[in-house]
């Protein structure tokens, strides 16, 4: 069958095939799924590594805050000194994280909002997952009301 309708149908099929990106011989899109997978897979991997990095920093930060607060509570007892809180904080950090995070711990009695408190400050390096990640330090503080200062 030949006629004007056949030519129009063939032209429409040709335009439809070009619109989806393939021709009658086998297509120009052959192999593009592998390239798409490689490009998107790399981005997803970087995104996952970033989420793991943020989770690691948050875990270390909350652990340091807890250790500093516990050290401050210990130093705030009536028969304890700020140095006892430093030792307690270091021991807690070493048992929960690593000795590398317990290098810079300090404690002092201060006045906060009109109350005598013990303040324990911990400065630790930011944890880095792999070689990619932020550098720098993380500083957290814990406070507790000094018992011997109560009326």
Considering the domain boundaries, does residue 1 fall inside one? no
State how far the Cα of 35 lies from the Cα of 41, in Å rounded to an integer. Answer: 10
With CA atoms as reference, report the closest residue to 141 among 48, 40, 72: 72
Considering the domain boundaries, does residue 116 fall inside one? yes
150 pLDDT exceeds 50?
Answer: no
44 exposure class (CB count in 10 Å sphere: 0-12, 13-18, 19+): exposed
Q: Average pLDDT, stretch 37-57?
A: 91
Considering the domain boundaries, does residue 71 fall inside one? yes
Domain region containing 58? 32-149
How many domains does the chain divide into?
Answer: 1
With CA atoms as reference, report the closest residue to 145 among 106, 122, 123, 113: 113
Q: Average pLDDT, stretch 53-60?
A: 92
What 8-state DSSP symbol labels residue 2? -
18 pLDDT exceeds 90?
Answer: no
Considering the domain boundaries, does residue 89 fall inside one? yes
Considering the domain boundaries, does residue 19 fall inside one? no
pLDDT tens sequence across 114-141: 999 999 999 999 888 766 667 789 999 9
């Amino acid at each position: 069958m030949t006629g004007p309708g056949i030519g129009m149908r063939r032209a429409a099929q040709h335009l439809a095939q070009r619109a989806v990106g393939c021709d009658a011989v086998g297509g120009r899109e052959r192999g593009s799924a592998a390239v798409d997978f490689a490009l998107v897979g790399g981005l997803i991997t970087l995104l996952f590594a970033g989420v793991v990095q943020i989770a690691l920093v948050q875990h270390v930060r909350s652990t340091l805050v807890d250790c500093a607060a516990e050290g401050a509570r210990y130093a705030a007892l009536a028969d304890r000194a700020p140095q006892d809180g430093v030792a307690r904080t270091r021991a807690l950090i070493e048992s929960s994280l690593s000795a590398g995070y317990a290098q810079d711990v300090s404690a002092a009695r201060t006045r906060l909002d009109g109350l005598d408190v013990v303040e324990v400050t911990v400065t630790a390096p930011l944890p880095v997952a792999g070689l990619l990640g932020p550098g720098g330090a993380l500083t957290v503080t814990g406070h507790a009301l000094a018992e011997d200062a109560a009326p």
